[in-house]
Amino acid sequence: MFLTPFVPAGAGADVVNAIALVETALAPEALLAELHRIEAEFDRARGVRWSDRTLDLDLVAMGTLVLPNRETLARWMALPFEEQKRAVPEGLILPHPRLQERAFVLVPAADVAPGWVHPLTGQTIAEMRDALAAEDVAAVTVLGE
Report d(CA 50, CA 117) in Å as an integer: 27
Q: List, in order, residues 6 or more apart from 130 with CB less than 8 Å away.
A: none
Q: Taking 60 as the threshold, does the pLDDT of residue 120 lie above it?
A: yes
Q: Above 70 in pLDDT, residue 74?
A: yes
| 11-20, 76-85, 116-125 — most confident range | 116-125
Predicted pLDDT of residue 34:
95
pLDDT tens for residues 13-72? 888 888 999 999 999 999 999 998 988 898 767 655 555 556 778 899 999 999 999 999
Domain ranges of the chain: 20-132
pTM of the full structure: 0.86
Say if residues 113 and 107 touch (Cβ distance below 8 Å): no
The CATH number of 20-132, from 3.30.1440.10, 3.40.50.2000, 3.20.20.140, 3.30.70.560, is 3.30.70.560
